[in-house]
Amino acid sequence: MRRVVVAAALLIASVPASSAAFAAMDKPAHDKFVARCKTSMYMSSAQCSCMADIVGKKLDDLSIAYLSLDPLDVRNSAAMSKKMTGKELSAIDNFMKTAPHTCKSAK
């Protein structure tokens, strides 16, 4: 019985830790994402900052790093995407379908 209680406590304690991956990005990651967004998507700073705010809440660190890569860096993009699960790739796809429209009028 004691083992079950300990296992349950560990499981409950791990949930907030796993959610931390979706916490807001730190400043360097935010700035890198905004810079890549501006050069790759030709969007304004305000629009890219809006997208960075969304990506920091919706995607994990690996997905954010993937989106921050140079789009012409095919080798690293391919290697990184192979490490991702279908769920992660789907989340990136969904983000890229919705965030630009959501941030279209950001000023």
Taking only Cα atoms into account, the Rg of the chain, rounded to an integer number of angstroms, comes to 17
Backbone angles phi, psi at 70, to 5 degrees: -65, 125
Whether the model pTM is above 0.85: no
- Position 17 confidence tier, pLDDT thresholds 50, 70, 90: very low
How many residues would you count in the chain? 107
Alpha-carbon span 67 to 101, nearest angstrom: 17
Residue 24 pLDDT grade (very low, low, confident, very high; cuts 50, 70, 90): low
